[in-house]
């Protein structure tokens, strides 16, 4: 008899137990997944999402928890080779393939996962993930809000983002102390920005790391000495749209 997997606090594990919600998450993922796209599930845990993905898509599950991997290999014996013991943050995506990414993401590494998605944005057309509600809101936020930040700008430059729904604490075991939310990212046909990614990321991070300063003052850290008379330079980073950051990037880092 298989023993249930114990949630581990140091891994930020909160296993989704709401089977209706799990099926809904998968359907909201599948309906926008391009045909013949491989699927990578991050942190399959006890397989509540996994059961709705197997036999429908080319599937791989990555988990850092050896106990979870052992459980999944036994529980889904016909698909045992699909489960890999590895940290997604060290995983290398094959650029020749396209991957849809799904998961009840560990909250303690959800932001690094999103930076990983950005690194492989040309390889990842769709992401559907469970996040801490505040992080989900931040990613989907529009300019003008205090929660609008680095991930908001960088992800929205390349993906259309939908906040799908809030998920109550009681949908998990053990229940987290915060509410959760599911968001969906679908890659834009063309990036919203034409500047190269690395200078764009550098600019956005520099501005938001000094978010109380105006752009005019924050970009001094980049040693740029050009004309700062444009109105954009008198604003703070949360007031700038993705296109505004593109304009700045092309000024500060001529392509």
Q: How many CB atoms lie within 10 A of CB 171?
A: 21
Residue 1, pLDDT score: 40
Residue 13, pLDDT score: 63
In a domain, 192, yes or no: no
Q: Categorise residue 43: left if φ over 0, alpha if ψ from -120 to 50, beta otherwise.
A: left
| Confidence check: pLDDT of 103 > 90 | yes
| Confidence check: pLDDT of 249 > 90 | yes
211 and 176 assigned to the same domain:
no
Domain's final residue, options 166, 187, 208? 187
How many degrees, rounded to 5, is the angle at CA 180 between CA 174 and CA 186? 130
> Residue 104's domain spans which residues?
9-187
pLDDT (tens digit per residue) in 107-164: 889 999 999 999 999 999 999 999 999 999 999 999 999 999 999 999 999 999 999 9
179 and 207 assigned to the same domain:
no
Q: At what angle do helices 110-119 and 150-158 cross, to 10 degrees?
A: 40
Residue 209, pLDDT score: 94
125 and 181 assigned to the same domain:
yes
| Confidence check: pLDDT of 76 > 90 | yes
To the nearest whole number, what is the mean pLDDT of the chain?
92
Number of domains in the chain: 2
Residue whose structure tokens are 């993922």 = 29
In a domain, 147, yes or no: yes
pTM for the predicted model, two decimal places: 0.93
In a domain, 146, yes or no: yes
């Amino acid at each position: 008899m298989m023993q249930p997997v114990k949630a581990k606090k140091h891994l930020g594990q909160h296993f989704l137990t709401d089977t209706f919600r799990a099926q809904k998450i998968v359907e909201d993922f599948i309906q926008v997944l391009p045909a013949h796209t491989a699927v990578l599930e991050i942190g399959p845990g006890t397989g509540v999402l996994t059961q709705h993905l197997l036999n429908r898509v080319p599937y791989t599950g990555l988990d850092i928890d050896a106990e979870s991997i052992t459980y999944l290999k036994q529980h889904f014996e016909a698909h045992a080779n699909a489960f890999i013991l590895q940290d997604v943050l060290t995983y290398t995506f094959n650029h020749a393939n396209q991957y849809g990414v799904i998961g009840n993401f560990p909250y303690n590494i959800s932001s690094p996962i999103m930076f990983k998605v950005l690194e492989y944005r040309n390889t990842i057309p769709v992401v559907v993930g469970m996040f801490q509600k505040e992080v989900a809101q931040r990613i989907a936020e529009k300019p003008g809000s205090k929660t609008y930040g680095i991930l908001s700008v960088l992800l929205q430059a390349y993906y259309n983002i939908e906040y799908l729904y809030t998920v109550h604490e009681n949908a998990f075991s053990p229940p987290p102390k915060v509410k959760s939310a599911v968001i969906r990212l679908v890659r834009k046909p063309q990036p919203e920005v034409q500047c190269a990614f690395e200078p764009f990321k550098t600019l956005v991070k520099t501005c938001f790391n000094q978010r109380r300063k105006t752009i005019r003052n924050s970009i001094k850290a980049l040693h740029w000495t050009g004309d700062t008379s444009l109105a954009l330079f008198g604003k703070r980073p949360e007031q700038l749209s993705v296109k505004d950051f593109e304009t700045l990037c092309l000024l500060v880092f001529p392509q």
